[in-house]
Structure 1
């Protein structure tokens, strides 16, 4: 079952709009074209997008439930109630937890935090944890990045006499948590908050900001709390990037200034993370450095069941402890990578054996790690262009845990609901979901799910995935000046992806190489221009590359490659077509 070929689509070139924006803004035509591609055509909008000033942040007072939450927290502090911050185990949850805990510590308010074990407890609030915290004397719980759908758990907390302050950004049910809980969420019914797509860590940042304003008794925050909020901005940036929320509006502002702060003045814990990730301190960081170097290390701890150490790292003021904890996360990330590679190989073997002709893939294995199946499922979606569900069968237990990833146009949570008779539990949203299933129902579920998918797709199979390309460009245009121009659009991320370029009729130069058994590297030439291209996890496409008679067309992202003080430009492959001419949809 080979990888699915993508349909290449070159975005329209609106020459008049590009010229007008380029002249009015005095920016290069390339930047103008990329802005137009992103729907930014007016000068005022372009200036806001490129400048992303802190003045564009919305007041936390506008967020539903914020003022009530501040009141409740200040009353709890005054009454010396025992407070616990309850966060999620991923990057967004752990960074948001650290934001609130460090504020309480700064205020010298006794505080504890709780992060559930992903493997033993699962996501979000759970009954046993609430009972245990109650037994420890906790009277107030502030949730971070979870709780908005925890109806039964919130009811139990109320019965136990625990006051709940729920801060979240996830999708809500038709019914909201009751029991006197205070809800802080940018998209609550009736909300007038201008931007609804914050991450959990950003909501926690807003709560810390609102508390700091109230404590300062002035619109301007006290200097020592202002510095703390800037440290919190670093943490919120990690969560925003890792949670893949749209980097538009105030998310873009937060990340842009958070990256600057991390580069210039990282916290003790983040500095240790940078060093363990081989990222130079005081270099200009980009969002992709967070996404591909920092976030996987943090997430690895949660996936392997030790997320509490992440919060400890983010909070510590001791460099030695920070280095020790960062090294621990680095080891866990290496372990995660090894497990992931093995699982990916096994999943591809199963897909190639059993997936031919199926509109979706439902694969299971007794040796798979429940904390990593989501990553592997995402890679299979990209490779095969169809919905994927991977199920980790628990050794000696009569059930398995599944992770699902989808494609545009196929709502995973709806599909799972249609197959709910085969499931113990399920939940999620359109593009990603989780499930629990009895081991003896996996085969039945596979058939029912694939039948549902076949009925959903017009031809019984998923449509060919589309690859949207920003511009066609000659190889000679790949210059450091171009990359400097592209830097103006940073930070890149969801809804502002790093631009993709197409260059055709390139000559292969020399023999392609396989790196680490999985990556493909080769050189291409056009005229006097010669560049290296690297395709991650494309080693199995070597024969395809060589089938073009020495000619190839590439879709890629140009990137700097700094080695021993020398900067070169490298082409990071997204896709290729053998031969001299590109086939465009």
Structure 2
């Protein structure tokens, strides 16, 4: 679907003031103003992200009580189990707590539900099994805040339950010890921590309990610094706002990931060739590391992801990294198969350019990849999208994943249609649903109606352009200036620029598994630039057939290969030259 290009307005007076105050280059000052950073003291806080800026873990709602409870359980030799979610955020948070409690001498194990069999969150059958095996304390990671019935069961089973989470509350809070940045009645200043970030704060506090002081021993400090790298992966993977404490966690976690990785992470870095880079970026996590950890959960083997992050056996770590890399390849094949089928259904049976939303379904579409596919379809057509996997067996519910594409609050939209659903949960950008297959058509109609009431009929997805910039403006130094704004992510995206009157120096080519991506050499006013477009292989034929100049929206990046560094661009969008950029 064609997107509207919108050039973001700039207050040049403010830009010049910030340049004078902070001695920043114009391009960095301009983008910082767009990020809401106006004063020199704010610039320092944003760019430096000092570790000392992390808030005391005791300030996080629920941490003091939970840390006391865990510390006492360690002293009493209670059998503790970390019950994590199966995505990269849950996997990393589980590993952080398991490693920390093990280091403190706890009788600790971990359990991660099977996505395909157990479903999301605390599971009554699993809790009963854990109680039968003699577990006495359950600490949830990245789940549990919307599980009051499961918390009641823990009471019946004699299980102490500590819930650590960051998701939306249900109608009733669990009767348990709760750790959550947005607990009712609390006033924690940053609500954007992910599950791994919450787990890190709790682990930090438990370490302080064990030492009887704010300052921990060198051994525990080393563990916490290594855990920053693990928390950074969870933070980037969960697409939480890259602001405030998340920037600090990721900024320092990226450094720790390269300088002091765990045994398992070292092997995964080798497998992805990231160990050859001089510095890592948040995009290295987003596109290389997080998908591999997520693949373990998507294919029902999340426990292997936790094991990779917790093993102290180099041989086992190498075998796990290789196996997980293979799982990711399988995940990519499954994802492409479901994507092609869903995209065909969208075009053959619906009108993706006009319908307010898309609800697509297929028998045995793999439940582990439907969320990724929903995101890709939502991005392609600029429409909220739900992908449902139908079981095909009588009486079994359809299970679906939804993505908003940034257009609506999904959780609110699903609430308006909940009479057609068995269950639903999630947040504004992503959600999960289950429903009887017989209700599918009624649900689709109700969901599309709810979206249409909240999105204008002439809605068109937009690309926000930070500035116009010709190819000749970019060299290693200017791109380094832009990268001062790292780590990039939600609420602090890598800046997008546009260039007009660009020509293809030679025909575009597809690349990557399944020809998913595109590479092309472009030229503008005698300045040549290699460009890639990830996930946009379908542009190839159209670009090559156009035989006319184009305009491109792009992100400048530094590509590092075998020690050689050069500037390239990542194409975000393109169109025939000469169209107006709105403001």
Q: TM-score normalised by the shorter chain: which range applies? A: over 0.9
1:195 to 183, 190, 202: 190
Deviations 1:146-196 (A, max 9, x none): 111110000010111111111111112342111xx2111111122132222
Distance 1:313 1:397 in 2: 39
Closer/same/farther in 2, CA of residues 467 and 401 from structure 1, 3 Å limit: same
Q: Does 1:37 align with 2:34?
A: yes
Distance 2:405 2:263 in 1: 40
1:363 to 360, 363, 368: 360
2:393 to 390, 396, 399: 396
Measured after TM superposition, the shift of residue 452 of structure 1 is 3.2
Closer/same/farther in 2, CA of residues 43 and 127 from structure 1, 3 Å limit: same
Deviations 1:471-497 (A, max 9, x none): 111110111111111221111111110
Q: Does 1:467 align with 2:463?
A: yes
Secondary structure of 1:502's counterpart equals strand
Distance 2:453 2:37 in 1: 38
2:372 to 369, 375, 393: 375
8 Å CA contact 2:7, 2:581 repeated in 1 = no
Deviations 1:542-580 (A, max 9, x none): 454357552010001112223454323221110011124
Distance 2:431 2:211 in 1: 42
Q: Does 1:125 align with 2:125?
A: no
Q: Does 1:52 align with 2:49?
A: yes
Distance 1:305 1:76 in 2: 31
Secondary structure of 2:320's counterpart equals helix
Secondary structure of 2:222's counterpart equals helix
8 Å CA contact 1:202, 1:239 repeated in 2 = yes
1:210 to 205, 208, 213: 205
Secondary structure of 2:275's counterpart equals coil
Name the Cα RMSD after superposition.
1.7
Distance 2:227 2:538 in 1: 43
Deviations 1:400-448 (A, max 9, x none): 1111111434222232232223222222222221111222222332233
8 Å CA contact 1:85, 1:101 repeated in 2 = yes
1:231-380 pair list within 5 angstroms: 231-280=226-275, 283-356=278-351, 357-380=354-377
Flag structure 2 segments of 5+ consecutive residues without an equivalent: none
1:158-177 pair list within 5 angstroms: 158-177=155-174
Distance 1:16 1:568 in 2: 33
8 Å CA contact 2:74, 2:105 repeated in 1 = no
Measured after TM superposition, the shift of residue 45 of structure 1 is 0.2
Q: Does 1:481 align with 2:477?
A: yes
TM-score w.r.t. structure 1 length? Answer: 0.95
Q: Does 1:515 align with 2:515?
A: no
Closer/same/farther in 2, CA of residues 185 and 166 from structure 1, 3 Å limit: same
Aligned equivalent of 1:416: 414
Aligned equivalent of 2:135: 138
8 Å CA contact 2:192, 2:240 repeated in 1 = yes
Closer/same/farther in 2, CA of residues 174 and 452 from structure 1, 3 Å limit: closer
Aligned equivalent of 2:522: 524
8 Å CA contact 2:383, 2:407 repeated in 1 = no
Distance 1:91 1:217 in 2: 32
Measured after TM superposition, the shift of residue 26 of structure 1 is 1.3
Measured after TM superposition, the shift of residue 372 of structure 1 is 0.6
Distance 1:452 1:56 in 2: 42
TM-score w.r.t. structure 2 length? Answer: 0.96
